Amino acid sequence: MKTTIPSLNWLLELEKATIVDSIDNDFILVEKPAFASTLDYPFKLDVTIVIICIEGISRGKVNLIPLTTASPGFATILPDQILEYEYMSEDFDGLIIIMSKRFTESLNIEKGFSLFLTLRDNPFIPLTLEELDAMVAFYTIMQRAVRKKDNPYRMEVVKHLIKAFFYNTGYQYHNLSNNEKKSKNEKLVESFLSIVQMHYKEQRGVEFYANELCLTPKYLSKVVKETSGKSANDWIDNHVILEAKALLKSTNMTIQQISDEFSFPSQSFFGKYFKRNVGLSPKEYKNS
């Protein structure tokens, strides 16, 4: 059985927040977040997180894509994405909604709902001050519902409220998609990166991805480099290295097991590949 990257211990991190309201570990509301600045290695999420930014700014990466969350605006990070924390300003103030996989699956939001089709490509949405006020008011209503612990239908009330929140959020994404006009090459790069995210553990050659897109490797490499500023090979290698770093730092997997996880022919081959990209051997990185 394959070993996955353990997720960030949210319960431990939330102890630093000023106000936390929750229903078990399935639905959590957080005010005044203060996540650790010591998160200096990649980690994988097993929850959905909505961050409503009231003041300040935070920066990081989600699946290698830079993500800046600034006021007024909100960001949504989905389960199984790899997050890299970089910076949070001292004046950062926000509201956070954390939902377990079990909770979000129970919502039964329609499969084709536009929000979930665009979240991975557009995790951050800027808001007007009026839209931010409306979102904060919605958060307050959910908070009041969570605090009514004597209500036997508390969870059902919260589910209906968060579904309404998502449908309203979907309107923001609809406006964004209407305002964005992506070129043919930009759409091609997005398709390439989407396929890379699905197959990077087994496939590290550009030829595979070109074949999936019905293109020649030369043409795909040219478009990816010109459009993104990074070569197709670099994108593939970066996905592999990102998860390898997370496995080395946050699991007890051996280097041989990690090598097998990425379908390398041998531990030695993996070690050379890792050192070529990172400058350290897997063992050196793990102990650093």
Domains of the chain: 10-179 (2.60.120.280), 184-287 (1.10.10.60)
pLDDT for 193: 87
* Better pLDDT: 5 or 140: 140
Query: H-type helices in the chain, by residue range?
Result: 10-14, 101-106, 114-118, 129-147, 154-179, 184-199, 206-212, 217-228, 232-250, 255-261, 267-278, 282-287
Higher per-residue pLDDT: 158 or 32: 158
Return the pLDDT at 136.
Answer: 93
Confidence tier at 33 by pLDDT (50, 70, 90): low
pLDDT at site 4: 45
C-alpha to C-alpha distance for 260 and 272, rounded to whole angstroms: 14
Tell me which H or E stretch contains 150: none
Q: Which residues pair with 70 in a beta bridge?
A: 57
Alpha-carbon distance 155 to 152, whole Å? 8
pLDDT, mean of residues 78-100: 86
Helix axes 184-199, 217-228, angle to 10 degrees: 110
| Torsion angle defined by CA atoms of residues 161, 166, 167 and 171, in that order, rounded to the nearest 10 degrees | 140
Whole-number pLDDT of residue 113: 47
CA separation for the pair 31, 81 (Å, rounded): 23
- CB atoms under 10 Å from CB of 191, counted, come to 13
What pLDDT is attached to residue 120?
66
Average pLDDT on 47-57 reads 91
**Tens digit of pLDDT for each residue in 205-245?**
999 999 999 999 999 999 999 998 889 999 999 999 988 98
Statement: residue 44 has pLDDT above 70: yes
